[in-house]
Structure 1
Amino acid sequence: MTHSGKMSRWTWLMAMVALLAIFAVACSGDDDDDSSSAGFTDAGYKTAGLDKARVVTIDGDIPIGISSALTGEVAGLGIPIADSAEVGGEGITIKGKKIKWVREDDLCSPEGGPAAADRLVKAKVVAAIGPICSGGTRASLKIFDDAGITHISPSATAGDLTTPTRPEGPYVTFFRVPVLNADEAKAQAQFAYDTLKAKKAFVVFDTDDYGKDLAAEFQKSFKAEGGEIVGTPAGYEKKTTDFKSIIANIKAAKPDVIYQAGFYAEATPFLQQLRADADLKSIPYIGGDGIKNDELLSGAKDAAEGAYLALPGTTGSQFDTYKQKYAAKFKGNADSATFGAEAYDAATAILKALDKVAVEKGGKLEIDLKKLNEEIKKSSFEGASGKVEFQDNGNRAGAVVRLFKVVGGKYVQLEAGKK
């Protein structure tokens, strides 16, 4: 009996171990997929009122919103994005109706984003491009969703925008065209570790959602490569111009590479002050996509020389068409319009979907916002930024990251493995 009891307990124990092992494997599978793979839900469509027809009637031009930074510190990023979105509709009509672009200034901020979204909803837009920054986007998601207005951001890259903490899952009205921070940071970390042979990194970042998320992703990826983070401050606010204390910490930490996640407005004085220190002149500097802007070159001048910048995305088959239209309408150079191709493609996705779902009745157009949302989700076309398709949670499918170096006051794209 005693022996039999021991064997029973042993058998029971082994069964429990096996069961726990199966559970662990199942959980690890969930971790591999993680919440970023969670798609839109029926509850999400119901919350947005897109579980059934939601028809609007248009008498006149079709209003489409653009939420971008039109004033302030990052207008140099936001205005070309807005211009590029408009170019996407150049010469296009939907069932004989012209497009009426409604621009609103989101200031690239958590305060400006929802204010712009509210104005666009009140303007009765049928869809929108933007907001352009992660903080403003996060604060605007519910406003667009409550109105059933599908919006496509060309540049909001924080990973958790498509994994909000709510039982309904991702906001079904939100899509985005850019490559995410995690992909950009991974490419930069690999470049720093493998190509620059950096083993120790110091991370500097803007305290907004974009800067914090990109900095965190870089740290995670750099550590995964085998590198060490030797210092990172609490972060700096927008409009900061004095970086002396951060630079003193960098000097003491003796890093092999300096990484900055933020925007060109603050990167300009940071680089000027960094390179003014003789001991820090030659330490490689890597910056995120918010820093790669022509205003960095004109503002930082020689201090920007040798800087490495990333730009998520690639140039697709429609880039030359976009470039020609952009030059003709706004006299701009599409090559230097960061996220311009993505904005053009965001507009294209909306216009293609509109052309399929708009119904002409008695000289007016009827647009079912539910059907418009469904068509945008099914997007599949070759755009200015490459092939545009969306995953089940609104993120773009596929990820390409390009790296550039400032040489002779210009951005030069690097070949793989080259520095």
Structure 2
Amino acid sequence: MLFKTKFMPLAIALAFAGSAGAQEIIKIGHVAPVSGPSAHLGKDNENGAKMAVEELNARPFKINGKPVKFVLVLEDDGGDPKQGTTVAQKLVDAKVNGVIGHLNSGTTVPASKIYFDAGIPQISPSATNPVYTKQKFNTTFRVVANDNKLGGTLGKYAVEKLKAKKIAVIDDRTAYGQGVAGEFVKGAKGPGVSVVDKQFTTDKATDFNAILTSIKAKNPDLVFFGGMDSVGGPLLRQMRALGIKAKYMGGDGVCTESLPKLSGAADESVTCAEAGGVTPDLQKNMDDFVARYKKKYNSDVQLYAPYVYDAVMTMATAMADAKSAEPAKYLPYLAKVKYQGITGPISFDQYGDVKDGALTLFTYTGGKKTKMEVVK
């Protein structure tokens, strides 16, 4: 009797372990910069992925009638292209079933070749450079509008709504920064409109005195910055310190809840756009997500956590449709998936770009990011 009492729990534990082992494990890779100047954005993305996986496992989610367990494999690319390809290879070697990421275009694009060669589907929730989906890789998808739409719409808005005539443009020389700035210039056309100065910096710069002094001499009425908030915030701060009163505009990289703190000057003279948009009929779903996020992490959504969440759910939906989590089997289903996300309906065109991608224009009021309008 002593033998049974002592060892019965072990037998039961082994039985449960065998049962758990029979459950299919699906590994989802997630990559974002959780170190470096954009770590606050990378952590925001990572949190969105964690929320999705936890909710899938709580259901539990079934594929071909059987419950499965999703496991996140988290990697940090530091926003660096070389590090991005290194961690991409790590995920391939780990035999992940799919990848959500990367955050930046500069890391997403080079990593995409590695995933393509391995046949692993990749959904970026935030990379906007058009090159990403134009490489003829059938494994690349994104759930936000690209820079053609983002930069072009901002350029048009600057001229038509903000009545800008003399425009200065600065970019950080990254794939994202150059791309969105280039598309902005293409869109900023109109009678009497001119780009009076073009300057560039880096994604790690802190001193902008030289380029801003050059810009100040041209007396622009609007300055556009292509880059992330970690540079765009201090740039705006130094603009105002130098007495440059021009309106300030940027893409999704600066369109964060942190911009007021980083700049000390984000107000209604600032216009930015998020490469995604929620129409009024879907606002309640987004509000519910934001509230859940706040309760779970005790912080506000910075930018793309909802899109990461939707990207994970979209990938899981394709697996369910295919009745398989094997990349080669569910990839064709991902290409034709239809998923109603919290950010809107998600389906992809022939390149892997989200169909009918929306943009949301924001400004800042009382130190808070404030929605202006959704543009489709």
Same fold (TM over 0.5): yes
Distance apart, 1:399 and its partner CA:
2.5
Q: What amino acid is aligned across from residue 219 of structure 1 in structure 2? A: V
What is residue 395 of structure 1 aligned with on the other side? 353
Q: What amino acid is aligned across from residue 158 of structure 2 in structure 1? A: A
Q: What amino acid is aligned across from residue 395 of structure 1 in structure 2? A: D
SS at the partner of 2:225?
A: strand
Query: Equivalents in 2 of 1:255, 1:177: separation in Å?
Result: 35
What is residue 215 of structure 1 aligned with on the other side? 181
Report which stretch shifted further, 251-260 or 224-233.
224-233
Distance apart, 1:373 and its partner CA:
0.5
Q: What amino acid is aligned across from residue 72 of structure 1 in structure 2? A: G
2:284 aligned with 1:294:
no
Pair 304,239 (structure 1): closer, same or farther in 2 beyond 3 Å: farther
What is residue 218 of structure 2 aligned with on the other side? 253
Pair 225,345 (structure 1): closer, same or farther in 2 beyond 3 Å: farther
Extract unaligned runs of 5+ from structure 1: 1-56, 165-169, 360-366
Query: Equivalents in 2 of 1:135, 1:185: separation in Å?
Result: 17
Over residues 50-93 of structure 1, what are the superposed CA-to-partner deviations in whole Å (9 max), with x where a residue is unaligned? xxxxxxx9965211110111111101111111111221223323
Over residues 125-160 of structure 1, what are the superposed CA-to-partner deviations in whole Å (9 max), with x where a residue is unaligned? 100101111111111111101111001000110012
- 1:347 paired residue among 312, 315, 318: 312
What is residue 55 of structure 2 aligned with on the other side? 91
Distance apart, 1:271 and its partner CA:
1.0
Report which stretch shifted further, 82-91 or 376-385.
82-91
What is residue 306 of structure 1 aligned with on the other side? 269
Distance apart, 1:328 and its partner CA:
4.2
Contact (CA 8 Å) 2:31, 2:75: kept in 1 or not?
yes
Pair 416,383 (structure 1): closer, same or farther in 2 beyond 3 Å: closer
SS at the partner of 1:125?
A: coil
Distance apart, 1:124 and its partner CA:
1.2
What is residue 70 of structure 1 aligned with on the other side? 34
Contact (CA 8 Å) 1:326, 1:332: kept in 2 or not?
yes
What is residue 117 of structure 2 aligned with on the other side? 146
Pair 324,283 (structure 1): closer, same or farther in 2 beyond 3 Å: closer
- 1:155 paired residue among 126, 141, 149: 126
Over residues 359-404 of structure 1, what are the superposed CA-to-partner deviations in whole Å (9 max), with x where a residue is unaligned? 5xxxxxxx43222101111111221211111001111111322111
Query: Equivalents in 2 of 1:125, 1:59: separation in Å?
Result: 16
- 2:203 paired residue among 238, 243, 248: 238
Contact (CA 8 Å) 1:128, 1:151: kept in 2 or not?
yes
Pair 416,127 (structure 1): closer, same or farther in 2 beyond 3 Å: closer
Q: What amino acid is aligned across from residue 169 of structure 2 in structure 1? A: V
Contact (CA 8 Å) 1:311, 1:402: kept in 2 or not?
yes
Pair 123,287 (structure 1): closer, same or farther in 2 beyond 3 Å: same
What is residue 380 of structure 1 aligned with on the other side? 338
Distance apart, 1:305 and its partner CA:
5.8
SS at the partner of 2:138?
A: coil
Distance apart, 1:294 and its partner CA:
2.4
Over residues 102-123 of structure 1, what are the superposed CA-to-partner deviations in whole Å (9 max), with x where a residue is unaligned? 1101222211211121111111
When the two structures are aligned, how many residues end up with a matched partner?
A: 344
Q: What amino acid is aligned across from residue 295 of structure 1 in structure 2? A: S
SS at the partner of 2:53?
A: coil
Query: Equivalents in 1 of 2:273, 2:22: separation in Å?
Result: 42
TM-score by length of 2: 0.86
Query: Equivalents in 2 of 1:227, 1:161: separation in Å?
Result: 31
Extract unaligned runs of 5+ from structure 2: 1-20
Over residues 268-319 of structure 1, what are the superposed CA-to-partner deviations in whole Å (9 max), with x where a residue is unaligned? 22111100123x1x31111111012222211222355632121121126342
Contact (CA 8 Å) 1:271, 1:304: kept in 2 or not?
no
Q: What amino acid is aligned across from residue 299 of structure 2 in structure 1? A: G
Distance apart, 1:224 and its partner CA:
6.0
Contact (CA 8 Å) 1:275, 1:303: kept in 2 or not?
no
Query: Equivalents in 2 of 1:200, 1:338: separation in Å?
Result: 30
Matched-pair identity in %? 31
Pair 171,416 (structure 1): closer, same or farther in 2 beyond 3 Å: closer
Contact (CA 8 Å) 1:223, 1:229: kept in 2 or not?
no
Over residues 194-249 of structure 1, what are the superposed CA-to-partner deviations in whole Å (9 max), with x where a residue is unaligned? 1111112100111110000011101111136762111102x111210110111111
Larger Cα-atom Rg: 1
Question: What is the aligned-residue RMSD (CA, Å)?
Answer: 2.1
Report which stretch shifted further, 296-305 or 126-135.
296-305
Pair 58,388 (structure 1): closer, same or farther in 2 beyond 3 Å: farther
Contact (CA 8 Å) 1:88, 1:322: kept in 2 or not?
no
Which has the higher relative contact order, 1 or 2, with Cα contacts under 8 A spaced 6 or more apart? 1
SS at the partner of 2:115?
A: helix
Q: How does 1:124-203 map to 2 (within 5 A)?
A: 124-164=95-135, 170-203=136-169
